[in-house]
C-alpha cells in the first residue's frame, strides 16, 4: 500500500480545486421566451397590405430588447435582377419588463417584389441571453 | 443508463482487447541525447506529454488525424464534417495550440471554427503531444499545448525504401492512397510522398436538422455537399556528416471540401434537395492550399550544438458561396462573383538555438523570429489585411541533481508588433443604403475595421521538477506563466461568420492573454500495471473570448453582436489512464478526462468546453494479430457559455482487427475497424455543425492496408 500514497495525496490536492470553483452563484443563464402568435407559418400577404405581428415575450429576470428582421428567400439563381426586394430590420427597447405583449403592423411597400420571405424575431434579456423564432411567409400581388 | 454501461464494461472485460504498441506514455526527457542532437527539436520540459506512433494512427484511424487523436485523454477534436478536424488540448484550441514540423510552427488560419489543420496524416512517424503551455520554446501560440511532428531517424545502412497505404472508409465512402519512395546513400537521404484522399457526402443517422428554428430535411441520410478531397505532396532531403545535419523539406497540402448549403447564408430548403450527386463539390465550398519550405541545420561541436531553422509558408484559404445568399438586391462583383472570402497568409520563420551540455546540465539559448503578411479578398469581410512581426529570446536550463531528480527552468521575453489595415465594405454600404439606414449609420458600419497598430511585450517563465520517487513511482510538477498575443481576428474581425452563425467583432483594446499553469503528472508503473494521472490547474488573469454585447447587428440573419473581450478564467481538469496487462496477453486500457472551465466575470463556463469521456479498451495480441473491442462513453456537456446549447452524451462501441502479415519477407499490415457500431446518433459539443444540430457521422467501417518495402544494397 505504500506505493499508493502519492496517488491518494494528489487526489486530495485536486478535490479542493473543484469544490472551490463549483460554487453556485445563481447566474442568469436562462433565455427569454418568444411566443409568436402572428404571422403564421406560410401565411400569404398582399403587396400594399401590412404584416400583423403579435407575440408574447417573457423572461425570468428582465427583458431587454427585441428585433424584427424580414428578408427575401427568392430562388437564388434568378434574382440578380431584382433590385427592390423588401427588407425590414428594426428593433425596440423593452428594458425592465418581465413579460410583454407586442402588437405591430409592418407595411409592405407598393414596390415590394413578390415572393418567399423570411420573418425573424429575436429577443434578448438584460444578461445577454438571446432567443429567436423564424417563419416563412409569402408576399403576392393582390388579385 | 449508468448501470447498463457498467454491465457492458464487465461483459467486455470478459471478451477481447491491446493498445499496447500504440500509445507510449513517454516523457520528453527520455529522448536520448543522440536523437536530441540530430533529429528532434525537443528541449527537456517537464510537462505531461504523449507520443503517438504511426501504428496507432493506422490501427485507430478515424477519418482524419485529429479525430484519431480524440481517443487520447486530454485531447478532443473539433470536427468539420467528416474530412477535417481541429485539435483541442485540455479545452484549448484554435490559436492556443501550435503544430510544429521540423522546428517550425505551422501558420494557417487556425482561428476559424471551420478551418482544419493542413497536414498529411500518413507522413507522420511519431507525433508528440505536449499538454499544457510550452511557451518558452514556441512563444505566444503555445499557451494550450504543442503538437510536434517527429521524423523517423534514418536507418544505419544504404537502402531503397518506401511504403504504400490504401484506405477505405464507409461513412463518407472515402478512398485514400499514399505512396512513399526514398533512398539513402551514405550521407544523403531523399524521400517523396504523395497522398490523396477523396470522399463523398457523409452519412449521418438523422433525417432532419434544425437551422434558425426551421426544420431542414436531410435526404437519404446524406449531408448534402460535404464531399471533398485532400492532396498532399512532401519532398524531404537530408544530408549529414559527422557533425553537421542539414534537412530541406518542401510540402504542399491541398484540401477542398463542400459546405452544407442548408446552413450557409439564408436557409433554404430548395438548396438541400437531394441532387443524386454525392461526389460533386458545389457552392458553398472552401479550399485551402498550404505550401511549406523548411530548412533545418544542426552543427555539432564537442560540448555544444547549434540549431538553425528557417521556414517559408504560404496558406491560401478561399471560401466560395453564391453572392445572393448573402446580399440581396445588390449587383455582385464582376470578377469571381461567388468568392466570399480569401485569405492569403505568408509567413517567414527563423529560429536559432544554441545548446550547451555536459553530463549534469544542459543550457539552451535561443532566438525566434516570425514575420506574417496577410492579404484578403472576396466580397465578404471577416479578417483584415495585416502585417505582424514577432520575436522572442529565451533561455532554458536542465539540471540532473541526482539520478532521480531533474530540475528544469527557463525564461522568455517576447515582442510583437501588429499593423492592421482599415477596410471599407462597399457591398455592405450598398446593402445598408438599400435598407434605408441613415448616412451616419451607413458610414459607421461600412468601415469594417479602422487602422490598428499595436505593440505587445511579454515575459513567460516556467519551473519544473521531475522526481523518480522509486522504481515504480514518478512525479512531475511544472509551474509556469505563459501568454498569447491577440490575433488579428480578435483585434479587428467584423462580420457574420457562417461557422458560428453570429456577428463577431474584434476589439482593438485587447490586452494579451496571460495564464498561470500548474501541471502535475504522476506515473505508477510495474510489470503489468501502468497508471498515469495528470491533474492541471490553469488560471488566466486575462482570457480572450467572444461575449454578447446586447447590441443588435444590422447585418442580415444576425442577432446581437458578439465582441472579443478579456476576462479572468480558470480551467481545471485531469486525465487518467490505466493500462493493465493480464497474464494471458489480454490488455485492458482505460483512458479518461475531465475539464471544468469557468470565466470569473460572468461566473459561467467558457464556450467549447470539451465533453468528458471514458474509453475502455480490451485488446489481445495473438501472434501477429491484434484485436480490440472498445466502449467510449462521452458525457453530456451542460457546462455551457451564454447562448451556447448543451450537448447530450453518448455511448459508442468500436472494434478493430489488425494483422501484421509476413508473406515471403514482405510485411503487410492490414487493419479493419468499425467505429460507432450501433450507428448511434450523437453530437460533438465542439464540432462545426453542432450549432445546427447535425450529428457526427454514423457507423463507419474502415479498411487500411499498409505495405512497407525496403531493399538493401
Inter-chain Cβ pairs, chain A and chain B, closer than 8 A? 115
Q: Which domains does chain B carry?
A: 2-712 (2.40.170.20)
The tens digit of pLDDT for each residue in B110-131 reads 888 778 888 888 888 888 888 8
The tens digit of pLDDT for each residue in B323-360 reads 766 666 677 777 888 888 899 999 999 999 998 888 78
Q: Is B185 exposed, middle or buried (0-12, 13-18, 19+ CB in 10 A)?
A: exposed
The minimum CA-CA distance between A122 and chain B, rounded to whole Å, is 6
CB B311 within 8 A of CB B104: yes
**Residue ranges per domain, chain A?**
28-140
Radius of gyration of chain A (CA): 25
How high does pLDDT run on average in chain B?
Answer: 84
3-class DSSP state for residue B447? Answer: strand
CB contact under 8 A, A128 and B549: yes
The minimum CA-CA distance between B19 and chain A, rounded to whole Å, is 24
> What residues form DSSP beta bridges with B388?
B372, B418
User: Stretch B182-189: mean pLDDT, rounded?
Assistant: 90
Q: Chain B residue with minimal CA distance to A82?
A: B329
Q: CB contact, 8 Å: B441 with chain A?
A: no
C-alpha dist (Å) from residue B542 to B552, B565, B676: 26, 9, 39
To which residue does cell 484559404 refer? B317
Q: Give the per-residue pLDDT at B362.
A: 86
Residues 207 to 236 of B: which have CB under 8 A from any A CB? 212-214
Q: Chain A residue with minimal CA distance to B574?
A: A14
Classify each residue of B195-231 as buried b or exposed e, where b means 16 or more C-beta atoms within 10 Å of its C-beta: bbbbbbbbbbbbeebebbebebebeeebbbbbbbbbb
The minimum CA-CA distance between A20 and chain B, rounded to whole Å, is 11
Q: CB contact, 8 Å: B387 with chain A?
A: no
Q: Report the distance separating Cα B158 and Cα B692, nearest Å.
A: 55
Least CB-CB distance to A25: which of B325, B475, B603? B603
Q: Report the distance separating Cα A58 and Cα A62, nearest Å.
A: 8
Domain spanning A28-140: which CATH class is it, in words?
mainly beta
Backbone angles phi, psi at B298, to 5 degrees: -130, 125
CB contact under 8 A, A89 and B556: yes
The minimum CA-CA distance between A128 and chain B, rounded to whole Å, is 5
Residue B220, sorted as left (phi over 0), alpha (psi -120 to 50) or beta, turns out to be left
CB B535 within 8 A of CB B476: no
To which residue does cell 498550404 refer? B290
Q: Report the distance separating Cα B532 and Cα B553, nearest Å.
A: 48
CB contact under 8 A, B574 and A14: yes
**pLDDT tier, B50 (very low <50, low <70, confident <90, very high otherwise):** confident
CB contact under 8 A, B559 and A118: no
The minimum CA-CA distance between A120 and chain B, rounded to whole Å, is 8
Q: Report the distance separating Cα B55 and Cα B34, nearest Å.
A: 24
User: Stretch B185-207: mean pLDDT, rounded?
Assistant: 90
Q: What are the DSSP E strand ranges found in A4-126? A: 33-38, 43-46, 50-58, 63-72, 88-93, 99-107, 115-125
pLDDT tens series, chain A, 143 aa: 445 555 555 565 555 555 555 555 577 888 899 998 988 888 888 888 888 899 999 998 889 999 998 877 765 444 444 446 677 888 888 888 888 898 989 888 887 888 888 888 999 998 889 998 888 888 888 87
Q: Give the per-residue pLDDT at B500.
A: 65
**pLDDT tier, B37 (very low <50, low <70, confident <90, very high otherwise):** very low
DSSP 8-state secondary structure symbol assigned to residue B383:
S
C-alpha dist (Å) from residue A49 to A104, B24, B389: 13, 71, 59
Q: Chain A residue with minimal CA distance to B559?
A: A122
Q: Give the per-residue pLDDT at B30.
A: 28
Question: What is the reported pTM?
Answer: 0.86
Q: Report the distance separating Cα B294 and Cα B251, nearest Å.
A: 9
The minimum CA-CA distance between B51 and chain A, rounded to whole Å, is 23
Q: Is the pLDDT of residue B15 over 50?
A: no
To which residue does cell 505532396 refer? B233
Closest CA to B398 of B441, B357, B345: B357
Residue A45 CB contacts under 8 Å (≥ 6 apart), including other chains? A39, A51, A108, A137, A138, A139, A140
DSSP B76-129: EEEEETTTEEEEEETTB-GGGEEEEETTEE--S-TTSTT------GGG-SEEEE
SS3 readout for B466-500: EEECCCCEEEEEEEEEEEECCCHHHHHCEEEECCC
> What residues form DSSP beta bridges with B375?
B344
Q: Is the pLDDT of residue B661 over 50?
A: yes
Q: Which residues of A touch B522 (CB under 8 A)?
A: 6-7, 10
Least CB-CB distance to B533: which of A7, A73, A75? A7
Q: Is the pLDDT of residue B696 over 50?
A: yes
User: Stretch B37-60: mean pLDDT, rounded?
Assistant: 65
> What residues form DSSP beta bridges with A143?
none
For residue A19, the surrounding DSSP H or E stretch is helix A5-21
Q: Report the distance separating Cα B343 and Cα B426, nearest Å.
A: 19
Least CB-CB distance to A122: which of B329, B556, B559? B559
The tens digit of pLDDT for each residue in B241-250 reads 888 889 999 9
Backbone angles phi, psi at B517, to 5 degrees: -125, 140
Q: Which residues of A touch B554 (CB under 8 A)?
A: 89
CB B508 within 8 A of CB B454: yes
Chain B interface mutation, best of A11, A12, A21, highest count of B Cβ atoms under 10 Å: A21
Closest CA to A21 of B639, B353, B658, B300: B639
CB B678 within 8 A of CB B699: yes
CB A79 within 8 A of CB A85: yes
C-alpha dist (Å) from residue A6 to A66, A77, B465: 56, 68, 15
Closest CA to B378 of B449, B420, B426: B426
CB contact under 8 A, A129 and B643: yes
CB contact under 8 A, A82 and B535: no
Taken in order B484, B518, B72, B612, is the CA torsion positive or negative?
negative
User: Stretch B80-95: mean pLDDT, rounded?
Assistant: 86
Lowest-confidence pick of A132-136, B500-504, B670-674, B693-697:
B500-504
Residues of A with CB under 8 A from a CB of B: 3, 6-7, 10, 13-14, 17-18, 21-22, 25, 27, 29, 31, 64-65, 67, 69, 71-76, 79-80, 82-85, 87, 89, 91, 118, 120, 122, 124, 127-130, 132-134, 136
Least CB-CB distance to B472: which of A3, A27, A73? A3
Q: Give the per-residue pLDDT at B36.
A: 33
Angle in degrees, 0-180, between the axes of helices B426-434 and B439-446, rounded to the nearest 10:
150
**pLDDT tier, B22 (very low <50, low <70, confident <90, very high otherwise):** very low
Q: Which residues of B touch A73 (CB under 8 A)?
A: 266, 268
Q: Is the pLDDT of residue B270 over 80?
A: no
CB contact under 8 A, B556 and A18: no
Least CB-CB distance to A128: which of B533, B548, B572? B548
> What residues form DSSP beta bridges with B364?
B355, B396
To which residue does cell 553530463 refer? B359
The minimum CA-CA distance between A142 and chain B, rounded to whole Å, is 23
CB contact under 8 A, A17 and B572: yes
Q: Which residues of B touch A10 (CB under 8 A)?
A: 520, 522, 533, 535
Q: Which residues of A touch B473 (CB under 8 A)?
A: 3, 6
CB contact under 8 A, B559 and A132: yes
Q: Report the distance separating Cα B506 and Cα B8, nearest Å.
A: 48
Q: CB contact, 8 Å: B268 with chain A?
A: yes
User: Stretch B131-160: mean pLDDT, rounded?
Assistant: 83
Closest CA to B144 of B67, B47, B65, B64: B47
The tens digit of pLDDT for each residue in B513-569 reads 999 999 988 889 888 899 989 999 999 999 999 888 888 887 777 788 999 999 999
Q: Report the distance separating Cα A79 and Cα A76, nearest Å.
A: 6
Q: CB contact, 8 Å: B522 with chain A?
A: yes
Residues 134 to 153 of B: which have CB under 8 A from any A CB? none
- Residue B280 has which C-alpha cell? 460533386
Q: Report the distance separating Cα B144 and Cα B134, nearest Å.
A: 8
Q: Give the per-residue pLDDT at B2.
A: 47
DSSP B195-215: EEEEE-SPB-S-SEEEETTEE
- Residue B552 has which C-alpha cell? 443588435
Q: Give the per-residue pLDDT at B265.
A: 61
Amino acid at each position: 500500500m505504500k506505493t499508493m500514497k502519492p496517488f491518494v495525496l494528489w487526489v486530495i490536492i485536486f478535490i479542493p480545486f473543484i469544490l472551490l470553483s463549483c460554487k453556485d452563484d445563481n447566474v442568469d443563464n436562462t433565455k427569454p421566451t418568444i411566443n409568436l402568435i402572428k404571422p403564421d407559418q406560410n401565411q400569404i400577404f398582399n403587396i400594399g397590405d401590412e404584416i400583423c405581428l403579435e407575440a408574447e415575450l417573457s423572461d425570468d429576470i428582465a427583458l431587454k430588447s427585441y428585433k424584427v428582421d424580414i428578408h427575401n428567400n427568392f430562388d437564388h439563381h434568378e434574382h440578380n435582377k431584382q433590385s427592390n426586394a423588401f427588407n425590414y430590420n428594426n428593433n425596440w427597447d423593452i428594458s425592465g419588463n418581465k413579460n410583454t405583449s407586442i402588437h405591430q403592423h409592418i407595411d409592405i411597400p407598393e414596390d415590394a417584389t413578390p415572393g418567399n420571405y423570411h420573418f425573424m424575431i429575436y429577443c434578448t434579456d438584460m444578461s445577454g441571453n438571446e432567443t429567436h423564432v423564424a417563419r416563412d411567409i409569402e408576399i403576392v400581388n393582390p388579385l | 443508463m449508468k448501470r447498463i454501461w457498467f454491465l457492458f464494461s464487465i461483459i467486455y472485460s470478459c471478451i477481447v482487447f491491446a493498445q499496447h504498441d500504440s500509445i507510449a506514455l513517454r516523457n520528453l526527457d527520455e529522448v536520448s541525447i543522440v536523437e536530441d542532437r540530430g533529429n528532434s527539436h525537443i528541449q527537456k520540459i517537464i510537462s505531461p506529454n504523449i507520443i503517438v506512433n504511426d501504428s496507432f494512427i493506422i490501427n485507430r484511424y478515424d477519418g482524419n488525424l485529429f479525430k484519431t487523436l480524440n481517443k487520447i485523454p486530454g485531447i478532443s477534436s473539433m470536427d468539420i464534417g467528416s474530412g477535417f478536424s481541429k485539435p483541442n488540448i485540455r479545452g484549448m484550441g484554435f490559436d492556443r495550440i501550435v503544430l510544429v514540423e521540423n522546428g517550425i510552427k505551422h501558420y494557417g488560419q487556425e482561428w476559424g471554427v471551420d478551418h482544419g489543420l493542413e497536414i498529411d496524416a500518413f507522413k507522420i512517424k511519431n507525433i508528440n503531444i505536449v499538454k499544457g503551455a510550452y511557451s518558452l520554446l514556441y512563444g505566444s501560440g503555445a499557451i494550450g499545448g504543442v503538437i510536434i511532428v517527429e521524423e523517423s531517424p534514418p536507418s544505419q545502412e544504404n537502402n531503397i525504401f518506401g511504403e504504400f497505404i490504401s484506405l477505405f472508409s464507409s461513412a463518407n465512402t472515402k478512398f485514400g492512397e499514399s505512396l512513399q519512395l526514398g533512398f539513402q546513400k551514405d550521407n544523403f537521404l531523399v524521400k517523396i510522398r504523395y497522398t490523396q484522399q477523396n470522399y463523398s457526402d457523409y452519412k449521418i443517422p438523422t433525417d432532419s436538422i434544425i437551422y434558425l428554428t426551421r426544420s431542414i430535411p436531410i435526404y437519404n441520410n446524406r449531408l448534402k455537399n460535404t464531399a471533398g478531397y485532400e492532396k498532399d505532396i512532401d519532398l524531404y532531403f537530408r544530408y549529414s556528416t559527422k557533425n553537421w545535419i542539414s534537412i530541406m523539406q518542401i510540402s504542399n497540402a491541398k484540401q477542398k471540401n463542400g459546405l452544407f448549403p442548408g446552413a450557409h447564408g439564408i436557409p433554404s430548403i430548395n438548396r438541400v434537395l437531394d441532387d443524386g450527386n454525392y461526389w460533386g463539390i458545389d457552392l458553398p465550398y472552401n479550399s485551402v492550399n498550404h505550401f511549406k519550405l523548411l530548412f533545418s541545420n544542426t552543427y555539432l561541436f564537442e560540448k555544444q550544438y547549434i540549431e538553425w531553422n528557417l521556414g517559408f509558408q504560404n496558406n491560401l484559404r478561399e471560401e466560395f458561396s453564391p453572392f445572393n445568399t448573402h446580399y440581396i438586391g445588390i449587383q455582385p462583383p464582376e470578377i469571381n462573383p461567388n468568392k466570399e472570402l480569401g485569405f492569403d497568409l505568408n509567413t517567414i520563420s527563423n529560429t536559432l538555438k544554441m545548446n550547451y551540455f555536459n553530463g549534469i546540465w544542459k543550457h539552451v539559448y535561443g532566438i525566434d523570429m516570425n514575420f506574417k503578411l496577410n492579404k484578403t479578398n472576396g466580397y465578404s469581410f471577416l479578417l483584415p489585411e495585416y502585417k505582424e512581426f514577432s520575436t522572442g529570446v529565451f533561455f532554458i536550463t536542465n539540471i540532473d541533481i541526482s539520478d532521480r531528480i531533474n530540475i528544469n527552468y527557463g525564461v522568455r521575453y517576447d515582442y510583437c508588433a501588429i499593423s492592421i489595415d482599415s477596410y471599407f465594405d462597399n457591398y455592405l454600404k450598398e446593402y445598408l443604403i438599400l435598407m434605408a439606414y441613415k448616412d451616419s449609420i451607413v458610414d459607421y458600419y461600412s468601415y469594417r475595421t479602422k487602422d490598428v497598430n499595436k505593440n505587445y511585450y511579454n515575459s513567460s517563465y516556467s519551473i519544473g521538477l521531475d522526481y523518480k520517487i522509486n522504481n515504480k513511482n514518478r512525479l512531475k510538477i511544472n509551474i509556469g506563466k505563459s501568454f498569447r498575443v491577440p490575433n488579428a481576428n480578435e483585434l479587428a474581425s467584423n462580420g457574420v461568420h457562417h461557422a458560428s452563425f453570429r456577428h463577431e467583432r474584434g476589439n482593438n483594446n485587447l490586452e494579451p492573454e496571460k495564464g498561470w499553469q500548474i501541471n502535475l503528472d504522476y506515473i505508477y508503473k510495474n510489470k503489468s500495471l501502468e497508471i498515469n494521472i495528470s491533474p492541471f490547474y490553469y488560471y488566466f488573469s486575462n482570457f480572450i473570448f467572444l461575449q454578447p454585447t446586447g447590441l443588435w447587428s444590422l447585418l442580415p440573419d444576425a442577432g446581437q453582436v458578439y465582441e472579443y473581450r478579456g476576462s479572468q478564467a480558470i480551467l481545471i481538469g485531469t486525465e487518467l489512464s490505466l493500462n493493465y496487462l493480464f497474464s494471458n496477453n489480454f490488455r485492458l486500457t482505460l483512458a479518461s478526462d475531465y475539464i471544468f472551465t469557468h470565466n470569473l466575470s460572468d461566473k459561467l463556463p467558457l464556450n467549447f468546453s470539451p465533453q468528458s469521456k471514458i474509453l475502455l479498451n480490451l485488446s489481445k495480441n495473438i501472434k501477429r494479430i491484434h484485436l480490440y473491442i472498445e466502449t467510449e462513453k462521452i458525457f453530456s456537456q451542460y457546462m455551457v457559455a451564454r447562448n451556447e446549447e448543451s450537448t447530450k452524451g453518448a455511448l459508442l462501441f468500436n472494434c478493430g482487427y489488425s494483422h501484421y502479415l509476413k508473406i515471403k519477407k514482405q510485411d503487410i499490415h492490414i487493419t479493419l475497424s468499425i467505429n460507432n457500431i450501433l450507428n448511434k446518433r450523437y453530437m460533438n459539443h465542439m464540432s462545426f455543425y453542432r450549432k445546427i444540430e447535425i450529428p457526427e457521422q454514423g457507423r463507419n467501417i474502415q479498411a487500411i492496408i499498409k505495405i512497407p518495402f525496403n531493399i538493401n544494397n
